[in-house]
Chain A
Amino acid sequence: MGGLEVGMEFGIPFPGLGGHDSVIFTNTLIVMVLIFVLGLLIVRRLRLERPSKPQLVLEMTLNWLKGLMRDIIGESGVRYLPLIATLFIFVLFANLIGLVPGLVSPTSNLNTNFGLAMIVFIATPYVGIREVGIKSFLRHRMGPVLALAPLMFVLETIGEFSRPISLTMRLFGNIMGEEILVMVINKIATMIYYVPITVIILPLSLITGLVQAFIFALLPTIYFGGASAWGEKH
C-alpha cells in the first residue's frame, strides 16, 4: 500500500530516489541519527553525583516505564524494558519530528507502523512461552473449560491477529489526522493575512504525539502481561 501523500511535497526525498516512500525513509533516518547522537551525548557524561538534566529526564522516563511494567507484567517483566523503551522513544521522536517544518513524521506512513506492530506481534508469544512455558501458554489460550477449547482457541487466535492491525491503524490515524489538521490550519492562515494561528494547534499536536507514544508502549506491555499470566493469576 502506497499510503497517503498529503502535504508530502515539502518533504526531503532520499537522494537518487523519488516518491513518498523515500521521503519517509529520509525522515526515519533523521530520527534514527537524532536518537543515536542524543543517546551518545547523554551516556558520555553519566554521573552518580550531581547528574545533568538530560540524564535526569532519561532516568525518570525509564523508571516510570519500569514501574509500569512491574505493575502489569510482574517482577520478571522488567527484563523486557529495552524493547518497550525503544518502542516508546522511537515513536515519540517520530511523532514529534513532524512538527518541525520541512520534516514528515515517519509514523504517518502505514508501513512504519506495521513494521513496529509486527515486532510486538512476534514478541508476544515469545514472552509468553519464555515466562510460563509452552504448555501453560497453550492451556491459557484454550480457556478454563475443556469443552469450549476449540472455540476459545480460535477466538484468541483471531484476537491475536487483530492486534497489529489495530496498533497500526491507531497510530497512523492519529498522526496522519494531526498532520492534515496542521496543513489545513496553515492554509487558512495564508488566507487571513498570514496570522500564525498554527501556534494554537501545535500544543495539541505535541500532546497527541506524547499520548500516542505512551499508548504504543502501554499496549505491548499489556499484551505481554496477558501472554505471561496463567492459572489462578488470570
Chain B
Amino acid sequence: MLRFFTVALILTILLGLVSIALAQEEESVIEESVVAESVEVKEGSTVNGGDVKTAAIQYFIWVAVICASAMAVAAVGAAMAQARAAKQALESVARQPEASGPIQIQMVLALIFIETLAIYTLVVALILLFINPFTESVVKMTGM
C-alpha cells in the first residue's frame, strides 16, 4: 500500500513538471507570434484627430471605468435578487419551522446561482484589468 502511494506521488509530481514545461514552451511560441504581428506606427500619426498616446491612455481609463461600473451594476442586481430569495426562505421557515433543513439547502443553492452571475462579471473585470488581450497591441501602437 505504501509503495502504491509512493509511486502515485512520484507520478503526480512528474506529470505536474511535464505540464509546466509544456505550458512554458507554449507561452514562448505565443510571444513570438505576437511580436511578428506587431503593428508599426509612424511617429506623430493620429487617431480620431488626436495623438496616439492620448488615445491609448484614454483606452486604459475607459477600461478601468467600465470594469468598476460593471461590477457596481452586477453587485446591485445580485444583492436585490439574493435579498428576495433570503426573504422568501425566512418567511417559509417562520411559517413552517420543521421544514428548515431542506429550505436551507435550497436557499443556499439559489444564493449560489445568483452569486455566480456577479462572479462572472468579476472574472470579466479582472481579465480586462490584469490580462487584457489588447494591452500589448495598444502599447506597441504608441511606440513606448
Contact = CB atoms under 8 A, between A and B. Distances in A.
A166 B109 CA distance: 13
Contact of B105 (A5, A6, A71): A71
Contacts of A42: none
Interface string A68-104: 1001100000000000000000000000000000000
B120 A173 contact: yes
The majority secondary structure among interface residues of chain A is helix
Contacts of B115: 170
A122 interface: no
Contact of A170 (B20, B27, B112): B112
A173 B119 contact: yes
B126 A176 contact: yes
Contacts of B130: 4-6
A218 B20 contact: no
Contacts of B16: 25, 28
Contacts of A28: 16
Nearest to B122: A173
A169 B112 CA distance: 12
A172 B124 CA distance: 12
Interface residues of A, number: 29
A71 B108 CA distance: 15
B144 interface: no
B108 A218 contact: yes
B20 A180 contact: no
Interface stretch (A15-23, A56-64, A148-156): A15-23
A2 interface: yes
Interface of A: 2-6, 14, 17, 19, 21-22, 25, 28-29, 68, 71-72, 166, 169-170, 172-174, 176-177, 180, 215, 218-219, 222
Instruction: List 9 A-B pairs, minimum CB-CB distance, nearest first.
Output: A173-B119, A173-B123, A173-B122, A4-B130, A21-B20, A170-B116, A25-B16, A177-B122, A215-B112
Interface of B: 13, 16-17, 19-20, 23-24, 27, 101-102, 105, 108-109, 112, 115-116, 119-120, 122-123, 126-127, 130-131
Given A25-B20, A177-B126, 11 more contacts: A2-B23, A2-B131, A4-B126, A4-B127, A19-B24, A22-B20, A71-B105, A177-B119, A215-B108, A218-B105, A222-B109
7 contacts: A28-B16, A29-B13, A68-B105, A71-B105, A166-B116, A172-B123, A176-B123
